[in-house]
Amino acid sequence: MTVQEPEEPPRGPAGLFADELIGLDPNDPETRAFAEHLTRMRGIPTASTIEGYLGGVGRFADSAIRLQGHRRLMVILVVGLLLAVAVGAAWVTLLTVWSTF
């Protein structure tokens, strides 16, 4: 009597998205990229914490890097306006502190 070893499960993306990946080669880089995309798209949003906000900023930066044309210009404009508001608020705060002394 011989003991058969169980088959090794296929390596690569599996788990939650096994149904979406049926028929795809699990070792293909495009399949892995698709599984990572599904993971990002179906990710559970984090709570309103510093880590959650920083994660949102990181996702914004990752997507902004890939943009081209007028969308990239709009991202630059939005980031520039946010920085201008932050610098303005810091300047007003600094003037208020100086005026109290």
For 22, list phi and psi in degrees, rounded to 5.
-65, 130
Confidence of residue 36 (pLDDT cuts 50, 70, 90): confident
Q: Map tokens 């002394």 to a residue.
A: 101
Where helices occur in 25-49 by DSSP H, the ranges are 29-41
Query: Which one has a higher pLDDT value, 11 or 69?
Result: 69
The identity of residue 68, as a single letter, is Q
Strand residue runs (E) in the chain: none
Q: What is the DSSP letter of 15?
A: G
Helix (H) or strand (E) holding 90: helix 70-100
Per-residue pLDDT, 7: 52
Query: Which one has a higher pLDDT value, 15 or 97?
Result: 97
% of the chain with per-residue pLDDT over 90: 27
Query: Which one has a higher pLDDT value, 12 or 79?
Result: 79
Tell me the average pLDDT across 26-44: 79
Q: Is the pLDDT of residue 28 over 90?
A: no
